[in-house]
């Protein structure tokens, strides 16, 4: 759901580079401090090593929250801090604009929220919002719960260890296919579709060369296979006798378009279907993996969640948004997971005009990379150390619970994650199912390292766990 990944390295490769790296002489402000490194390659290697190790702190400590660098032929300003990021995120369409590689636009198509800008982006976002409204979410919950329960039972039946990140991707793809698109698939169909979709995603950020065996050609082939499947499914959806009996996200989308005076073409529907899965797939799998990892590291948090479920006499049947809203501690846990390990580490923009940030000029045409992870790790508002896992930092009366831009796992402004409520609901249902029905333990001597690009995930899918079903007396009474 819609935390969207920003593959910054690939963007640097694929976006046209400005013809100069110099300051805008029409502005009296200086450029940010920093180093531009070697010609063309700039500081690319240094940056790649840093993101692999989850750290750019030395540069930030040396130059401040706004500093310049040079990555793969592009001048870049790296930005940290709530006030700076507020200006970037609220400046969409005026100060800055999102921009994706040509390969991404070719594969996903032109009829997507991702590729649209300005008034067209606003119109499409308004139409898409219906699919993530409260009424829509309420209708999704029972089916999400059923999918989560079914998958977790499979994890517990597995005699060996589970590769959590791969398993989480299977879970989130199943949710996307069933709940967002309403697909009813046999298991072989599901696995074939998931494999094809992985092929599409793996080639979204390839060089824009449509030649045999190229990444772009592979991505286009996967897209065409998915479009063929989706067209058949959509035709069946359009021809059914009782459309009111169905309520997946694609249904809400089509109805919303009609209400806004727009009839989607088949091409628009196919591209929207692929975008819905793309938005839901990797980032929600990343967050689910982080949730499982951090709960494993903090068993006292698991116990507090169980106590909260018991205190509210929370039974898993007939879960509603209202019932979920009463689980305040669980809400804090999900927020803290997304603060410590935000699925997307940062966002990427291009300056539409020269503007000021923290006393420096950001020249027109330069790239701006704002860091979600660094902002979460350095925000002065936190009372307990930002490096600690402390769900209660988001409790009532704590300053961390207020304010907007020191906590931005879903971005903000015009391109904030439109599906954030659904994403959080999925994570809550997963947490409830986990603590109610299973226990899990490491299958390796230690915890894996976490890679942050393109999204946060265990290196080499190294989070291997054993899952065991709880005996009735081990869980809460539900």
| Bridge partners for 97 per DSSP | 350
The region, left, alpha or beta by phi > 0 then psi within -120 to 50, assigned to residue 257 is alpha
Euclidean distance between CA atoms 448 and 458, whole angstroms: 6
| Bridge partners for 451 per DSSP | 457
Question: Degrees (nearest 5) of the Cα angle 289, 305, 332?
Answer: 70
Q: In what order do the strands lie in the sheet with 346-351?
A: 66-71, 74-79, 367-371, 346-351, 96-97
Name the strand (E) or helix (H) holding 469. strand 464-469
Q: Is 417 annotated as belonging to a binding site?
A: yes
List CB contacts of 195: < 8 A, sequence separation 6 or more. Answer: none
Euclidean distance between CA atoms 2 and 416, whole angstroms: 9
Neighbour count for residue 124 (Cβ, 10 Å): 22
List CB contacts of 295: < 8 A, sequence separation 6 or more. Answer: 301, 302, 333, 431, 434, 435
Which of these, 24, 102, 36, lies nearest to 75 by C-alpha position?
Answer: 36
Which of these, 267, 276, 316, 292, lies nearest to 429 by C-alpha position?
Answer: 316
Q: Residue 178 carries which DSSP code?
A: I
Euclidean distance between CA atoms 131 and 135, whole angstroms: 9
Given the DSSP bridges, would you call strands 367-371 and 360-362 parallel, antiparallel or unpaired? unpaired
Cβ atoms of 367 and 341 closer than 8 Å: no
Which of these, 80, 105, 166, 457, lies nearest to 283 by C-alpha position?
Answer: 457
Cβ atoms of 139 and 146 closer than 8 Å: no
Name the strand (E) or helix (H) holding 188. helix 187-202
Euclidean distance between CA atoms 372 and 377, whole angstroms: 9
Which residues does the annotation place in the binding site for heme?
Answer: 417
Which residues does the annotation place in the binding site?
Answer: 417
């Amino acid at each position: 759901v819609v935390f969207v990944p920003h593959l910054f390295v690939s963007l640097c490769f694929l976006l046209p580079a400005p013809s100069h790296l110099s300051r805008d002489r029409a502005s009296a402000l200086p450029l940010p401090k920093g180093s531009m490194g070697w010609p063309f390659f700039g500081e690319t290697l240094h940056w790649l090593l840093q993101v692999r190790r989850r750290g750019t702190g030395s540069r930030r400590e040396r130059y401040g929250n706004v500093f310049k660098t040079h990555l793969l032929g592009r001048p870049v300003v790296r930005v940290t801090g709530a006030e700076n990021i507020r200006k970037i995120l609220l400046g969409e369409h005026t100060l800055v604009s999102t921009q994706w590689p040509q390969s991404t636009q070719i594969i996903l198509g032109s009829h997507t929220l991702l590729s649209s800008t300005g008034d067209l982006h606003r119109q499409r976002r308004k139409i898409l919002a219906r699919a993530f409204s409260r009424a829509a979410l309420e209708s999704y919950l029972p089916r999400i719960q059923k999918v989560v329960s079914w998958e977790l039972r499979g994890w517990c039946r597995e005699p060996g260890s589970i590769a959590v990140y791969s398993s989480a991707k299977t879970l989130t793809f199943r949710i996307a296919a069933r709940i967002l698109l309403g697909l009813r698939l046999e298991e072989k169909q599901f696995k074939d579709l998931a494999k094809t979709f992985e092929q599409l995603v793996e080639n979204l950020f390839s060089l824009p060369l449509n030649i045999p065996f190229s990444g772009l050609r592979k991505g286009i082939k996967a897209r065409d296979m998915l479009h063929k499947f989706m067209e058949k499914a959509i035709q069946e959806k359009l021809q059914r006798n009782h459309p009111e009996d169905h309520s997946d996200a694609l249904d809400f989308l089509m109805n919303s378009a009609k209400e806004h005076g727009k009839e989607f073409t088949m091409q628009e529907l196919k591209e929207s279907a692929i975008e819905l899965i793309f938005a839901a797939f990797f980032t929600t799998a990343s967050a689910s993996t982080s949730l499982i990892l951090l709960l494993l590291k903090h068993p006292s948090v698991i116990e507090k969640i169980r106590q909260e479920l018991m205190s509210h006499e929370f039974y898993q049947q007939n879960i509603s948004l209202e019932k979920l809203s009463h689980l305040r501690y669980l809400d804090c846990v999900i927020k803290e997971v997304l603060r410590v390990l935000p699925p997307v580490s940062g966002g990427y923009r291009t300056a539409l005009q020269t503007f000021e940030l923290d006393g420096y000029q950001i020249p027109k045409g330069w790239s701006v990379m704002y860091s979600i992870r660094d902002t979460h790790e350095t925000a002065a508002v936190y009372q307990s150390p930002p490096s600690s896992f402390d769900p209660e930092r988001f409790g009532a009366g704590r300053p961390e619970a207020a304010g907007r831009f020191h906590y931005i796992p879903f971005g903000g402004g015009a391109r904030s994650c439109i599906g954030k409520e659904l994403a959080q609901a999925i994570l809550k249902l997963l947490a409830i199912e986990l603590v109610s029905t299973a226990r899990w333990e490491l299958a390796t001597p230690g915890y894996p390292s976490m890679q942050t690009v393109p999204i946060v995930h265990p290196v080499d899918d190294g989070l291997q766990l054993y899952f065991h079903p709880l005996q009735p007396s081990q869980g809460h009474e539900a």
